[in-house]
Amino acid sequence: EVQLVESGGALVQPGGSLRLSCAASGFTFSSYNMNWVRQAPGKGLEWVSYISSSSSTKYYADSVKGRFTISRDNAENSLYLQMNSLRAEDTAVYYCAREWPLDYWGQGTLVTVSS
Amino acid sequence: QSVLTQPPSVSAAPGQKVTISCSGSNSNIGNNFVSWYQQLPGTAPKLLIYDNNKRPSGIPDRFSGSKSGTSATLDISGLQTGDEADYYCGTWDSSLSAYVFGTGTTVTVL
């Protein structure tokens, strides 16, 4: 059974940093591209970032470019999102999702940016 | 702001059919496959339709998708109370080099 479990969400002050993790199981993680998608409270879905299976290709939404960094460790079956210079508008539930189309999603982890 | 436009809400009685539209442009829907996602209240999104009209294993054939030009459509027939959810279209945008979602549509069963 495919499982994606996010962690690392927290309350952080504006300008702060946070690192999210996504632990994958039930499939050959190293063979799949991965994504981060977020959803602000009461709002729609917003794609954040993509990383290819080998980490050779990465894409970012304009709203996070230069502040967020996606990475992965295939040996550890883990996906990461390093978030720096956080803003109030980054407050959201962050989901990791497999591939395009986004065929499996985790349950999400809440990031709150507030003073 | 999303580059894919959906109606905010649609509704129908149980057993009826609803249609959700997703309007885009040549840089996204016009030249890429469209997917649809269902988000039940308080849960993570789930893939409903991929490659315009294909259903993942376990998705009932009451859900169907289509695409024409720069627009896509999700049809839900035989509407059930369990279909009450938010629905999002999604596709790659070649101009933005980004995956884009629609604005989302809330389905209400009357």
Q: What is the pLDDT of residues B19-58, one digit of tens each?
A: 999 999 999 999 999 999 999 999 999 999 999 999 999 9
Nearest chain A alpha carbon to B44? A107
C-alpha separations of B33 from A78, B62, B66, B76, B98 in Å: 28, 20, 10, 19, 14
Q: Mind listing the pLDDT tens digit for each residue in B53-87?
A: 999 999 999 999 999 999 999 999 999 999 999 99
Cross-chain residue pair B37–A45, CB shorter than 8 Å: yes
User: Residue A37: what pLDDT?
Assistant: 98
Whole-angstrom distance, CA of residue B62 vs CA of residue B59: 8
Chain A interface includes B88 (CB < 8 A): yes
Q: Which of B9, B43, B99 to mutate to test the interface with A (most CBs of A within 10 A)?
A: B99
pLDDT band at B1 (very low <50, low <70, confident <90, very high): low
Closest CB from B46, B86, B99 relative to A100 = B99
